[in-house]
Amino acid sequence: MKKEISEIKRRALLAKQRLKMGYWQRMQEDRDKVMGATNNNELIHSAHNERMLEFERDTRRALGDDFAERDELLYSKVRDMLDRDEDVMNPIGLLMDKDAFDHMDADNKQRYILELSAKFRELKDRYYKEKSKYV
């Protein structure tokens, strides 16, 4: 029971911080800017999804989620890799945990590679979106 209370308190603190920092106003301004720039519903929906993903990432990171921490470590590797050279020959090989991979059976190796490649595509897209946002 005590863990649930602390979780609720942490979430309340996060919500309070978002309100103080103007998080929701900024999201509304960004939404209005996209809607003013275009009438393309697909683009508006894409911008909305991007904001929701950013919100979920921030929430998981603030709550200390283990998966978010691993994703951020992986993202830092992807960011460093793409900053050095955008035409990486073997990105999956550079990202994989070779010790864990060596101890897997064939099915788990295949699953690991597929999941890692999907994660790499996701993080690469995030990298280019963030890069274009600051350029």
Mean pLDDT computed over every residue of the chain: 78
Q: Where are the domains of the chain?
A: 1-64, 76-135
Burial call 21-56: b when 16+ CB within 10 Å, e when fewer:
eeeeeebeeeeeebeeeeeeeeeeeebeebeeeeee
Question: What pLDDT is recorded for position 1?
Answer: 47
pTM exceeds 0.95: no
Nearest to 55 by CA among 88, 17, 4, 107: 17
Share above pLDDT 70 across residues of the chain, in percent, rounded to a whole number:
79
Question: What pLDDT is recorded for position 39?
Answer: 67
Average pLDDT on 18-27 reads 79
